[in-house]
Amino acid sequence: MHGRLHPTDAQTYWMSTKIPNDQFLLYCFDTDATARSVRADLLGNARSIEELNVRIADVPLTLGYPRLAPAPIDDGHILEHDRPGSWNACRNQVAELFSRQLDQHETVWRLHLFDHVTGAPRCHGPALVAVLQLSHALGDGRIASAVARRLFGDHREKATDTVDRGRFRFREFIRRSSRAQEMERILTADTNAGAVPPQAPGRRLTRVNVAPSGLTSVRCVVRDRSELTASGISVTVGASTAISLALSRYLALHGEEVPVGLGAEITLGKTGRRRARNHFRNAGVDLLPTIEDLPRRAHAIATALSDRQARAEHPAMEAQSLATEMVPAILLHWGIRQFDVTAVPDLVTGNTVVSSVARGDDDLHLGGGRVRFTAGFPALSPVMGLTHGVHGIGEAVTLSVTSSESAMEDPDVYQTLLSDAVDDVAYAFARL
């Protein structure tokens, strides 16, 4: 797995110097095994995974995009942390990892191990917590989850193939650019005719839409999948319904008016063949806080999400992506360098982030213990001080919360509100 980064992945790599975006995938195993006892097996698995045997090498921008180059795996890729004791202490140590982003010129991954963790959700005794830190340039949540499964011994998972972009060709660049402009005109006409949902509106900023500063915190609410689903309601929608309820209550608790247009920036997987390792886009989705009946709110959120997906699947979006593929590296890098992380926009795509990934069956084992739950923590960004991950494995679904002190000085309060919101959603869904 060597060669040039796709422009989308290179953009993610370059953007990491402005907004740290390493992924942190947490897996909790019900076992009293020590970190040292599983190290050799994990290193052996890692050496068989081509995505983990690389680093990112810069090249002169006039020669094209950065490349993936071979990188040997050594003992330093797996870190055994001091025993944290309680689950809460372990969770706090995980949050501290966010300040130690990868040097992608040396490696695209690292694995952190915490053993003998007491009081972890769904565990009967001490737990072994493993956190895979992975460069976002290496892939999106789906690829990251597949890599993690192979690292923990699931040899059924295969490496993800992408379509080769090919080299820059000026005529092809002109052709694709013209096609993108033509399709943009068609998208406008289709939107005006009502055949395609309109662009989602921007959201006004709330107290959580501030630059992250101070202590970073993570919290996890681990529940049964059945509590978040119902007929016509997916896990993503059920979780978004609970988040809409919890965030509304949190804003009201702090004396802030809940915006009628409260919304979330939700990640949507792209359809079609995977051309880049990051094969997704973000869309603003209404959270509809004024609909008090929770099943009705959930179905309305599902409709809003479907509208975003329908617009994302218009041929104009693919045409734009294909045109971007032909942009020379020096121009794309120049555009990223102009991005001002200190600028505060008037409106945002969403008031929070919701990133949802299913991570497969709960048949992963480490140190003789079975995985009990998994979690993930979307990165904070200049006007996003609160993000949510929704990650399922087997029948366990974790709603993870990442927050900065500047946006949320009382993360335990929000965790309680989110847990209570899941209770309310589960009760409402059970009555359908």
Taking the C-alpha atoms of residue 259 and residue 243, their distance in angstroms, rounded to an integer, is 14
Find, among 30, 297, 311, the residue nearest to 191 by Cα: 311
Residues 6+ apart with CB under 8 A from 73: 43, 46, 47, 52, 53
Domain contains 158: no
Considering the domain architecture, whether residues 136 and 266 belong to the same structural domain is answered as: no
Domain contains 227: yes
Domain contains 304: yes
CATH number at residue 284: 3.30.559.30
Residue with tokens 């004024």: 290
Considering the domain architecture, whether residues 390 and 335 belong to the same structural domain is answered as: yes
Find, among 217, 196, 273, the residue nearest to 386 by Cα: 217
Task: Say what the pLDDT of residue 164 is.
Answer: 74
Lowest-confidence region among 8-12, 273-277, 398-402? 273-277
Q: How confident is the model at residue 395 (pLDDT cuts 50, 70, 90)?
A: very high
Domain contains 194: yes
Neighbours of 432 (CB within 10 A): 11
With a pLDDT cut of 90, the percent of the chain lying above it is: 92
Residues 6+ apart with CB under 8 A from 14: 332, 333, 336
Flag whether pLDDT at 430 surpasses 80. yes
DSSP secondary structure code for residue 24 in this structure: E
Flag whether pLDDT at 170 surpasses 90. no
The two counts, helices (H) then strands (E), for the chain are 10, 17
More confidently predicted of 391 and 432: 391
Considering the domain architecture, whether residues 289 and 346 belong to the same structural domain is answered as: yes
Q: What is the pLDDT of residues 22-39, one digit of tens each?
A: 999 999 999 999 999 999
Tell me which of 90, 119, 151 is where a domain ends.
151
Domain contains 233: yes
Flag whether pLDDT at 198 surpasses 70. yes
Q: What is the pLDDT of residues 363-385, one digit of tens each?
A: 999 999 999 999 999 999 999 99
Taking the C-alpha atoms of residue 113 and residue 128, their distance in angstroms, rounded to an integer, is 7
Domain of 48 in residue numbering reads as 3-151
Considering the domain architecture, whether residues 21 and 93 belong to the same structural domain is answered as: yes
Q: How confident is the model at residue 169 (pLDDT cuts 50, 70, 90)?
A: confident
DSSP 296-316: HHHHHHHHHHHHHHHHHTSHH
Find, among 244, 203, 212, the residue nearest to 408 by Cα: 212
Tell me which of 119, 151, 183 is where a domain ends.
151
3-state secondary structure of 420: helix
Considering the domain architecture, whether residues 279 and 362 belong to the same structural domain is answered as: yes
Domain count, the chain: 2
CA 153 from chain center: how many Å?
A: 23
Task: Say what the pLDDT of residue 49 is.
Answer: 96
Considering the domain architecture, whether residues 120 and 188 belong to the same structural domain is answered as: no
**Burial status of residue 380 (CB atoms within 10 A of its CB: 0-12, 13-18, 19 or more):** buried
Task: Give kind and range of the element (H or E) at residue 110.
Answer: strand 109-117
Phi, psi at 191, each rounded to 5° = -65, -45
Q: How confident is the model at residue 16 (pLDDT cuts 50, 70, 90)?
A: very high
CATH number at residue 110: 3.30.559.10
Taking the C-alpha atoms of residue 199 and residue 99, their distance in angstroms, rounded to an integer, is 35
Considering the domain architecture, whether residues 384 and 242 belong to the same structural domain is answered as: yes
Considering the domain architecture, whether residues 289 and 334 belong to the same structural domain is answered as: yes
Considering the domain architecture, whether residues 274 and 410 belong to the same structural domain is answered as: yes
Taking the C-alpha atoms of residue 71 and residue 106, their distance in angstroms, rounded to an integer, is 7
Considering the domain architecture, whether residues 114 and 237 belong to the same structural domain is answered as: no
Tell me which of 98, 121, 151 is where a domain ends.
151
Taking the C-alpha atoms of residue 93 and residue 109, their distance in angstroms, rounded to an integer, is 18
Task: Say what the pLDDT of residue 161 is.
Answer: 76
Using only C-alpha atoms, what is the Rg of the chain?
22
CB 401 within 8 A of CB 415: yes
Neighbours of 75 (CB within 10 A): 10
Domain contains 162: no
Lowest-confidence region among 57-66, 156-165, 318-327? 156-165
Average pLDDT over the chain reads: 95
Considering the domain architecture, whether residues 91 and 186 belong to the same structural domain is answered as: no
Domain contains 56: yes
Evaluate the CA torsion angle 326, 332, 334, 340 in order and state its sign: positive
Residue 233 vs residues 153, 187, 210, 223: alpha-carbon distances, Å: 32, 29, 31, 16
Task: Say what the pLDDT of residue 1 is.
Answer: 64
Considering the domain architecture, whether residues 146 and 184 belong to the same structural domain is answered as: no
Answering whether pTM is above 0.85, one says: yes
Task: Say what the pLDDT of residue 162 is.
Answer: 82
Mean pLDDT on 256-284: 95
Q: How confident is the model at residue 273 (pLDDT cuts 50, 70, 90)?
A: confident
Domain contains 226: yes
- From first CA to last CA, the distance across the chain in angstroms is 49
